[in-house]
Amino acid sequence: MQTDLTGQVVAITGAGRGIGRAAALACAAAGAAVLVNDAEAEVAEATAQDIRDAGGKAVAQVGHIGSPEAAAAVVDAALEAFGRLDTFCANAGVLRDSVMWKTSVADFDLVIDTHLRGAFTCGQAAARQMKAAGAGGAIVLVSSVAGQRGNFGQTAYSAAKAAVAALARTWSMELARDGIAVNAIVPTALTRMVATIPGLDEHVAAAERGEPIPDRLRQDLGLGRAEDVAPMLVFLASEAGRAITGQCLGIGGDRLSVWAHPAEAGVALRPGGWTAETIAEAWADGLKAHNQSVGIPNLT
């Protein structure tokens, strides 16, 4: 099996609930020993216990992701428990949604600290360990459609998640020589996190009751259960997945996708450069055909 993880060690932050928990269970089922981090002890321990009850290997570690110390503690706990680290998934996240003119600096800082500083500090701690061990590895970051496209009411979150995608692109270049693959998952799942998004709360409640998820959600929005996202981490941790680097890969419900990286959509050249007037003419004469859309398609 090209996606067997036997003998490998995977660390996942925020693995007490939602996508992180489902990914931890899936990696363990594929044969990996799993370091289960979460800020909340009870849910971290519950995930690790469920893995052990199913015959797998897991250890819980409690820590609030965001600082270099918290990131180092995850790596150290994985090494202490299992002696190596092959894959690190920086998944921990929070939402504090509001439009930009109402976003407090405290909420902005919390979201940026958790998602962006968390991805940076965790990725750096993991890369330093993997470089020193010399056996390659995988760093998996978690971006979002909001980060790729922008989303009304998600100022801090979309900024953090766009930056996370940028980290994956840059790190894939910087870590290629060490055989460390870096990718970002762009997941969608009916978890507690999206229950705060208007219109999705009743679908999260229905999914939690075990009711079937309508095709429109699973296919058009890629919204299924956390378990639908989990196989992507198993794949990226595996030998087959480690051949891929620098990508943003979408998964959720019935959808699997490769996200385009930003690229120039329309270009005009003018020897000697541009004036405001010639920019206005170039826009009217052709560049406006390349005007880009924003926002998440199909959400409303």
Ligand X SMILES: NC(=O)c1ccc[n+]([C@@H]2O[C@H](COP(=O)([O-])OP(=O)(O)OC[C@H]3O[C@@H](n4cnc5c(N)ncnc54)[C@H](O)[C@@H]3O)[C@@H](O)[C@H]2O)c1
Task: Using CB under 6 A, list all residues that contact ligand X.
Answer: 13-14, 16-20, 37-40, 43, 64-66, 91-94, 114-115, 142, 144, 187-189, 191-194, 226
- Smallest gap from Cβ 186 to ligand X, in A, equals 7
Quick check: is 157 catalytic? yes
Q: For residue 22, with 0-12 CB atoms within 10 Å meaning exposed, 13-18 middle and 19 or more buried, which class applies?
A: buried
| Contact status, residue 16 vs residue 34, Cβ threshold 8 Å | no
Pairing of strands 87-90, 137-142: parallel
User: Partners of 183 in the beta sheet?
Assistant: 140
- Residue type (1 letter), 202: E
Structure tokens at 81: 């428990």
Nearer to ligand X, 92 or 127 (CB): 92
Beta carbons within 8 Å of 209's beta carbon, 6+ residues apart: none
Residue 277: count of CB within 10 angstroms of its CB = 8
Q: Which residue has the tokens 């941790």?
A: 237
Rg (CA), the chain: 20
Point out the residue whose Cβ comes nearest to ligand X: 18
| Contact status, residue 58 vs residue 86, Cβ threshold 8 Å | no
- Smallest gap from Cβ 192 to ligand X, in A, equals 4
Nearer to ligand X, 51 or 132 (CB): 51
Select which of 157, 172, 193, 242 is catalytic: 157
Nearer to ligand X, 86 or 228 (CB): 228
Handedness of CA 46, 47, 51, 57 (dihedral sign): negative
**Largest interatomic CA distance in the chain:** 70
- Smallest gap from Cβ 270 to ligand X, in A, equals 41
- Smallest gap from Cβ 278 to ligand X, in A, equals 41
126 to each of 123, 149, 251, how far by Cα in Å? 5, 28, 24
Single out the residue of 2, 11, 63, 53 nearest to residue 33, CA to CA.
11
- Smallest gap from Cβ 134 to ligand X, in A, equals 29
- Smallest gap from Cβ 167 to ligand X, in A, equals 13
Nearer to ligand X, 14 or 137 (CB): 14
Q: Which residue has the tokens 């940026």?
A: 112
Nearer to ligand X, 94 or 287 (CB): 94
Nearer to ligand X, 66 or 137 (CB): 66
Active site residues: 157
